[in-house]
Amino acid sequence: MTTRSLLSSFTRRTLLAAATAASLTLPALAQQVGDKAVRFVLPNATGSGVDAITRTAQPALSKALGMPVVVENQPGAGGVVGLTTLARSAPDGLTLSVVSNNVVIFPSVIKQLPFDMPGDFTPIAIVGQTPVVLVANAKVPAANSKDFVALLKSKPDQLNYASGGIGTILHLATAMFLDEAGASAKHIPYKGVGPMVTDLIGGQVEFATAALPSVQAHLKSGALKAIGMTTRQRSPAAPDIPTFVEQGLPGYVVEAWFAVIGPKGMSAADVKRVHDAVVAAFADPAVKEMMAKQGNTINISTPEQAAAAFRSEMQKYAGLAKKVGLEAK
């Protein structure tokens, strides 16, 4: 099945079912945490880069907010499930999310979203950037960009690449790589990064792009191999992995960022309270050390800068998605 047909099969019925499933989890969660906890609803599976970042910061966020922080993973429909939950939540500062730039790609690749992006949300801060790496199963007979591109061209559409869902930054990143390299492969979307990485290691799919924190341990163990970093410069957390710019693909650069957002209608006081807590949490020495080990760069924006970035990034990714054929049908 082609990327375009996969996108066209992403129907309104599928999205509504996903949204309904998300809403059904709310009463049970409310009983568990009551009114004295902050919920971070993640539209990502466990094992994703966003999950690793949020759980690393969780204790410091709890300290800064002065109440428990509960992290709930709601993967599904590429991230639409968790975002629908957030959009339907009360704007009281007690339900938040850490998201990747997936959220600004969705409007370009999914026509019938059950929410408006960014209108149904309150951007609070772009927190930082995370490195993205193209990885392959250890059995793939290529260890660098030149050999990997040659392998792809020798087997057009015979190799499979995975992503954490249709229209995600990881999907777009690989589509951009194939476009830049003049090669082709089959896309296999997964319900999150965790199961994607499991099948990648097992050999059910040959390659994927992933946030470095989600595959770092597997690269060190040899279960996966790195073909190249998609960033402009090497990551201090993985200095032995060359960039694709270094390896002869100067036009292939993908940058991933992560942000804290809330539902539409949050008061200025609640936005400030959460923003101040985010600044304090990511300044915590233990969090800073772990962010550096994961390769994440922390550069916290103001709420106003975050709102402007969401709008400009949506325009940017609309052009990129159209260029590689991921526009919605």
**What DSSP string runs through 97-127?**
EEEEGGGGTHHHH-SS-SS-TTTTEEEEEEE
Same domain, yes or no, for 177 and 205?
yes
Tally of structural domains, the chain: 2
Same domain, yes or no, for 13 and 118?
yes
Residue 39 half-sphere exposure, CB side, CA atoms within 13 Å?
27
Residue 167 half-sphere exposure, CB side, CA atoms within 13 Å?
27
166 falls within a domain: yes
Distance, in Å, from the CA atom of 209 to the CA atom of 177, rounded to the nearest integer, reads: 9
Q: Cα angle at 179 between 176 and 181, to 5 degrees?
A: 110
CATH number at residue 153: 3.40.190.10
What is the reported pLDDT for 31?
Answer: 36
Residues in CB range of 284: below 8 A, 6 or more apart:
57, 60, 63
User: Given a cut of 80, is residue 22 above it in pLDDT?
Assistant: no
Largest CA distance in the chain: 58
Which residues does residue 99 pair with via DSSP β-bridges, in sequence order? 259
Question: Of 79, 173, 172, 90, which is closest to residue 133 (Cα–Cα)?
Answer: 173
How many Å from the N-terminal Cα to the C-terminal Cα in the chain? 15
177 falls within a domain: yes
Distance, in Å, from the CA atom of 249 to the CA atom of 234, rounded to the nearest integer, reads: 14
36 falls within a domain: yes
Same domain, yes or no, for 96 and 29?
yes
Bridge-based pairing state of the strands 38-42 and 95-100: parallel
Same domain, yes or no, for 178 and 92?
no
Length of the chain: 329
Same domain, yes or no, for 307 and 262?
yes
243 falls within a domain: no
Helix (H, G, I), strand (E, B) or coil at 40: strand
User: Given a cut of 50, is residue 232 above it in pLDDT?
Assistant: yes
102 falls within a domain: yes
Q: Note down the domain range covering 309.
A: 3-128+257-323
298 falls within a domain: yes
CATH number at residue 291: 3.40.190.150
Same domain, yes or no, for 167 and 117?
no
289 falls within a domain: yes
pLDDT tens-place string over residues 159-171: 999 998 888 899 9
Residue owning tokens 């429909």? 77
Distance, in Å, from the CA atom of 74 to the CA atom of 82, rounded to the nearest integer, reads: 5
Same domain, yes or no, for 124 and 7?
yes
Distance, in Å, from the CA atom of 139 to the CA atom of 294, rounded to the nearest integer, reads: 25
The mean pLDDT of 263-285, rounded to a whole number, is: 98
pLDDT tens-place string over residues 93-148: 999 999 999 899 989 888 889 999 999 999 999 999 999 999 999 999 999 999 99
Same domain, yes or no, for 13 and 154?
no
Same domain, yes or no, for 105 and 145?
no
Same domain, yes or no, for 41 and 92?
yes
77 falls within a domain: yes
Helix (H, G, I), strand (E, B) or coil at 312: helix
The mean pLDDT of 255-279, rounded to a whole number, is: 97
The mean pLDDT of 235-240, rounded to a whole number, is: 94
Question: Of 234, 273, 230, which is closest to residue 251 (Cα–Cα)?
Answer: 230
pLDDT category of residue 187 using cuts at 50, 70 and 90? very high
User: Given a cut of 50, is residue 67 above it in pLDDT?
Assistant: yes
User: Given a cut of 50, is residue 13 above it in pLDDT?
Assistant: no
Q: Cα angle at 44 between 12 and 237, to 5 degrees?
A: 140
Distance, in Å, from the CA atom of 156 to the CA atom of 178, rounded to the nearest integer, reads: 11
Burial 162-189 (b: 16+ CB within 10 A, else e): bbbbbbbbbbbbbbbbbbbbebebebbb
Which bin fits 299, alpha (ψ -120 to 50), beta or left (φ > 0)? beta
Residues in CB range of 90: below 8 A, 6 or more apart:
263
Same domain, yes or no, for 12 and 88?
yes
Distance, in Å, from the CA atom of 280 to the CA atom of 66, rounded to the nearest integer, reads: 12
Bridge-based pairing state of the strands 69-73 and 121-130: unpaired
Same domain, yes or no, for 118 and 9?
yes
What is the reported pTM? 0.82
What is the reported pLDDT for 23?
Answer: 40
